[in-house]
A and B are shown apart, each in its own frame.
Chain A
Amino acid sequence: MSFRVSRFTVLIGVCLAGQAVAHHSFAMFDRSRSETLNGKVKELDIINPHSWLKVIVKDAQGKESTWSLELGGASQLSRLGWDKLIHPGDSVTVTMHPLRDGSYGGQFVSVTLPDGKTLNDGRGPGQNTATPGATAPRSQNTGPQGR
């Protein structure tokens, strides 16, 4: 049996492999834990090497804090149609790997939109590395918990 791989296929593979190599480690994020945030989208900034989603979260006292969530690169998000699906003001539930120092930020895992649809950011295998059952809700809106 002969097996032929076109140059085009190889080229696409090389390009995707290049994008899959993160430009930095994710040492500041605690990838052994996942937390959820309920809030409203403030801003989606699609940019390389990483895009960012800002979400405004209210705590139990009504105090607002802005969370910055690191996403994949621009090409990945564009392929998934993020720019058409996420809008400022949308109520969302975000799952993330929190920062180790408790700051208002994290590595994005997934987002559930107002219509119930769930999106990831296309980083694929290795992205969701949280220990099963380790997801802790932050937003029964207990808020930032003194952070």
Chain B
Amino acid sequence: MRINYLFLLVTGIAIAPVHAESSWQEYSYPDSGVAFQLPVAPKVSNDKLILQSGISVPTTVYSARQDNVAYSVIVANFAGTSVEPRAVINETEKTISATGTVAFSVDARVDGEIGRQLSINAADGSRAKVAIFFTGDRLYELIGRTLPPDAAAGSGETIRFQESLRFISQSGAELRKGRPGVRGGPPGNAGPRRR
């Protein structure tokens, strides 16, 4: 698989870091079937992903950066192809694992979908938390990377990013029960509650 992780790294570093007080909110992209939370609004770009088999598919990349943490979500659209989802997940895991030492890797579940979650210590001193899922003809790869020299700082933010992933329908509706992404508590108390 060829995916331009160098592009992602450069993009993550090039995006001016924002030092404003944390203000996480959910960003929903029904066209991509995904929603996730970030402390700053992501920039959207397009790229492509090429599998070892030669299959090439378009990707949409959502990137953001705050302080020393670079966030990205890659959505690869496999519609019209006949790939085996688990094989694509495995190839994606193998590719990104080659960028460093895998500290931890495990099967994981989001909204009933099974995928992989990894933690990688890269050779450049950065640390990445990665989530890989395949659902609805799309591959989803979340990467939260803390940058050197102090890659431990901000590492808690990358798990927050990873755990915020959820899958939504084309209409933006939830694919599970509940009211994810809504700030506040019971109906009528939907305002921000940051303390």
In contact, A28 and B178 (Cβ under 8 angstroms): no
Contact at B156–A74, with CB atoms within 8 Å? no
A99 to B164, CA, bound (A): 16
Our pick among A27, A50, A69, A74 for the contact of B184 (Cβ within 8 Å) is A74
Known A-B contacts A65-B152, A101-B103; A49 and B159 likewise in contact (beta carbons under 8 Å): no
Chain B residues, CB < 8 A from A48: 178-183
Q: Judging by beta carbons under 8 Å apart, are A28 and B106 in contact?
A: yes
Interface residue? B5 (CB, 8 A): no
> Would you call A116 an interface residue if the criterion is a C-beta within 8 Å of the partner chain's C-beta atoms?
no
A43 touches B195 (CB 8 A): yes
The answer to whether B19 has its CB under 8 Å from any CB of chain A is: no
Please determine whether A44 and B194 come into contact, CB atoms closer than 8 angstroms.
yes
**Does A114 sit within 8 A of B, measured CB to CB?**
no
Contact A103:B129 (CB < 8 A) given known A44-B195, A47-B24, A87-B195: yes
Contact between B119 and A74, CB atoms less than 8 A apart: no
- Give the size category of B's interface with A: 35 or more
**Contact present for B186 and A78 (CB under 8 Å):** yes
- Chain B: minimal CB distance from A123 (Å): 14
CA separation between A24 and B35, bound complex, in Å? 14
Docked complex Cα distance between A110 and B37 (Å): 24
Q: How far is the CA of A18 from the CA of B177 in the complex (A)?
A: 6
- Give A96-114 interface residues, CB cut-off 8 Å to B: 99-105
Complex contact A105–B193 (CB within 8 A): no
Let me know if B152 and A70 touch, CB within 8 A. Answer: no
With A28-B159, A100-B119, A103-B119 given, name 5 new contacts (CB 8 A): A27-B108, A45-B22, A83-B195, A101-B119, A144-B152
- Point out residues on B near A: beta carbons under 8 Å: 22, 24, 26, 37, 103-104, 106-111, 117, 119, 127, 129, 152-160, 162-166, 176-186, 189, 193-195
